[in-house]
Amino acid sequence: MNTVREHFVPQGPKGSLLAGNLMAYRKDPLQFLIDLQQNYGGVAKIRLGPQSMYVIYDPDLLKELLIAKQEHFVKLKAFQEARLFVGDGVATSTGEKHKRVRRLIQPHFTRAHIQTYAGQMADIVERELDRWAPGQRRSLTDDISNITFAIIAKTLFSLDGDEYARAIREPYETINRMCAERMRQLAAMPLFVPTAKNRAYKAALQSLDQSVYAILQERKRNPELGAGDLLSVLIEAKDENGHGMTDQELRDELMIMFIAGHETSANALSWAFSFILRQPEVERKLHEEWDRVLQGARPTAETYMQLTYTQNVIWEAMRLRAPSFFTGRSAIRDVELGPLRVKKGQSVLFSPFAIHQNPTYFPDPQSFLPERFEHDLLKRIPQFAYMPFGGGPRGCIGNHFAMLEMVIALTMIGQRYRLRLAPGHPPTEMEPLMTLRPKNGLDIVVESANG
Ligand code: HEM
């Protein structure tokens, strides 16, 4: 063994006796995660309340965590709070249960299969854009959320219509905010205590459940509504003993897909616009690419491949504003990770948001420069130096899906309308909830594309 590793003692910021570094984390989680990398390099040791944990920035150590040693870890324990509403679906479950469901849904997310969704994705964007008109002031973040939500509903579950979106998204907004708040607390008030906040939280959870169960019942009554879609595959799946999934299990898988699949993409797209609308040169290059490649036609799965600058704009937006800004794993047994000895139950965190700001791989890291992704940047830097979709067997199953829908939506919005930030729009701040959102959204004024 090399001696550096043997003598390596991870360092971290000194915290208070009781809360450790929790106050610094709660005050500004994003800055906290960036400072750790700047001050401690590839790995830092922190304490949030009684729990000491590692935060990893080094790409090789991340690779070991997420690929070579992934069997020794489960998704972060601290996300248990989220399990209350997300349940025990593919993103949160462990072991055999996770493998089984992931295998079941994987065929719906291959590059080849995703291409078949391109037409539906474009139809949904078009339908949304038909509601817009020059001169309107709109919340682009809300509009984009409508689009990404409707895309999941239609492509995976064959659901049409705004009523599903409303019935799920409204309670979800309440839950998202409260869940993030609870996760940041050292000891959140147990849910059985009838505080006003707890009551609102539980009511939203109930309403979300009702909506998802209603979707399930409707499909079970009318299986022909979505033959061959992901929901029908989940409903028909049997385990080795011939047992199907329970309603609770189906509810959990459905919920995961809605949540993992719509908010992250919506955020990434909103962030992309927040940069584009402040950098006319980027907007000009996008139009140049759309005109050259598409000549006014809608983007398709085939032309997607040629929209490389558009893709790079999205890669760069996700570099500076990684929607999944931090996540992690908890060890299920004592395990060595590079020079670290991770104890059973101990957590190892990583922050794509902070990792993406390393000047070694991204010179001038604060600048929005889509060109940096040209000439196969991702092949020239270590695999885990850029990781908006995580990686390994628990990485994002929807990465190709997300890229395709984001390129289609960005392109079609830009082809049809010219957007301007609403007059007096303040700088767009970051709001780290379950995902990294533009705080207070993005308000725009719609102009005609030729105007
Ligand atoms: C810009 C869009 C997206 C981003 C940035 C993103 C990011 C991520 C990340 C970082 C993870 C891994 C988390 C971890 O390792 O702890 C993840 C997991 C996951 N994502 Fe995405 N995601 C996006 C879009 C989607 C879409 C569109 C879907 C589905 C349609 C999806 C479904 C999932 C699922 C099911 C998992 C859990 C995988 C597992 O644990 O096996 N995501 N995502």
- The finding on whether 276 has its CB within 6 A of some atom of ligand 1 is no
The token duo for 191 is 């849910």
Q: Ligand 1 mean position to 105 CA, how many Å?
A: 13
Q: Answer yes or no: is 50 within a domain.
A: yes
Asked if residue 264 has its Cβ within 6 Å of ligand 1, the reply is yes
Q: What's the gap between Cα 91 and its chain centre? A: 11
Backbone angles phi, psi at 420, to 5 degrees: -130, 145
3-class secondary structure, 430:
strand
The neighbouring-strand residues paired with 44 are 11, 55
How far, in Å, is the centroid of ligand 1 from the Cα of 120? 21
The region, left, alpha or beta by phi > 0 then psi within -120 to 50, assigned to residue 95 is: left
Ligand 1: residue of 159, 269, 396, 437 to mutate (most ligand atoms within 8 A of CB) is: 396
More confident residue, 79 or 62: 62
The secondary structure of residue 11, as a DSSP letter, is B
**Nearest-CA neighbor of 29 among 59, 55, 65?**
55
**pLDDT for residue 156 is more than 60:** yes
In a domain, 403, yes or no: yes
Higher pLDDT, 222 or 361: 361
Segment 395-404, tens digit of pLDDT: 999 999 999 9
Residue nearest to atom 30 of ligand 1 (CA): 261
Question: Is residue 451 assigned to a domain?
Answer: no
Packed helices 399-416 and 280-294: angle between N→C axes, nearest 10 degrees: 100
Q: Is residue 438 part of a domain?
A: no
Q: Which residues contact 17 (CB under 8 A, 6 or more apart)?
A: none
Which candidate, 213, 250, 236, 260, places its Cα nearest to that of 109?
260
Contact between 34 and 320 under an 8 Å Cβ cutoff? The reply is no
Confirm if 321 and 268 have CB atoms less than 8 A apart.
yes
Q: How far is the CA of 260 from the centre of ligand 1 (A)?
A: 6
By alpha-carbon position, which residue is closest to atom 40 of ligand 1?
91
Residue 428 counted as domain residue = no
Q: Is 395 in the pocket of ligand 1 (CB under 6 A)?
A: yes
Report the first-to-last Cα separation within the chain, whole angstroms.
67
- CATH code of the domain covering residue 132: 1.10.630.10
Render 224-273 in DSSP notation, one character per residue. GGGTTSHHHHHHH-B-TTS-B--HHHHHHHHHHHHHHHHHHHHHHHHHHH
> Residue for token digits 């409204």?
170
Contact 441, 139 (CB under 8 A): yes
Q: 2 pLDDT band (50/70/90 cuts)?
A: very low
Characterize 425-436 residue by residue with b for buried, 16 or more Cβ atoms within 10 angstroms of its Cβ, and e for exposed: beebebbbbbbb
pLDDT, tens digit, 9 for 90 and up, residues 371-392: 999 999 999 999 999 999 999 9
Query: 13 exposed, middle or buried (CB, 10 Å; 0-12, 13-18, 19+)?
Result: middle
Q: 350 - beta bridge partners?
A: 56, 327
Q: Give just the sign of the alpha carbon dihedral 112, 323, 311, 355.
A: negative
- Number of folded domains in the chain? 1
Query: How many CB atoms are closer than 10 A to CB 393?
Result: 12
In a domain, 321, yes or no: yes
Predicted confidence at residue 139, as pLDDT, reads: 97
- pLDDT category, 172, cuts 50, 70, 90? confident
Q: Are 74 and 329 in contact (CB under 8 A)?
A: yes
Q: Is residue 123 one of the residues assigned to a domain?
A: yes
In a domain, 271, yes or no: yes
User: Residue 162 is encoded by which pair of tokens?
Assistant: 């705004």
pLDDT-based confidence at 433, cuts 50/70/90? confident
Query: Per-residue pLDDT averaged across 222-237, rounded?
Result: 88
Q: Give the model's pLDDT for residue 3.
A: 43
Quick check: 31 and 5 in contact, CB under 8 A? no
Mean pLDDT of the chain: 91
Is the separation of the CB atoms in 439 and 429 below 8 Å?
Answer: yes
> Ligand 1 centroid to 256 CA: how many Å?
10
Instruction: Tell me if 324 CB under 6 Å of ligand 1.
Output: yes
Q: Is the CB of 256 under 6 A from ligand 1?
A: yes
Which helix (H) or strand (E) segment holds residue 181: the answer is helix 162-184
The residues facing 73 across adjacent strands are 331
Confidence of residue 330 (pLDDT cuts 50, 70, 90): very high
Cα separation, 36 vs 39, whole angstroms? 5
Burial (Cβ within 10 Å: 0-12, 13-18, ≥19) of residue 188: middle
Question: Taking a C-beta distance cutoff of 8 angstroms, is the pair 335, 342 a contact?
Answer: yes
- Confirm if 74 and 330 have CB atoms less than 8 A apart: yes
Please give the structure tokens belonging to residue 425.
Answer: 């729009």
Q: Give per-residue pLDDT as tens, 278-326.
A: 999 999 999 999 999 999 999 999 999 999 999 999 999 999 999 999 9
Give, for ligand 1, the residue of 102, 144, 159, 264 to mutate: max count of ligand atoms closer than 8 Å to Cβ: 264
pLDDT one-digit tens code per residue, 336-357:
999 999 999 999 999 999 999 9
Ligand 1 contacts CB of residue 146 (under 6 A): no
Could you tell me if 43 and 348 are in contact, meaning their C-beta atoms sit under 8 angstroms apart? no
Distance in angstroms (rounded) separating the CA atoms of residues 353 and 318: 8
pLDDT above 90 for 410? yes
β pairing state of 430-432 and 436-438: antiparallel
Domain membership of residue 397 as a residue range: 3-423
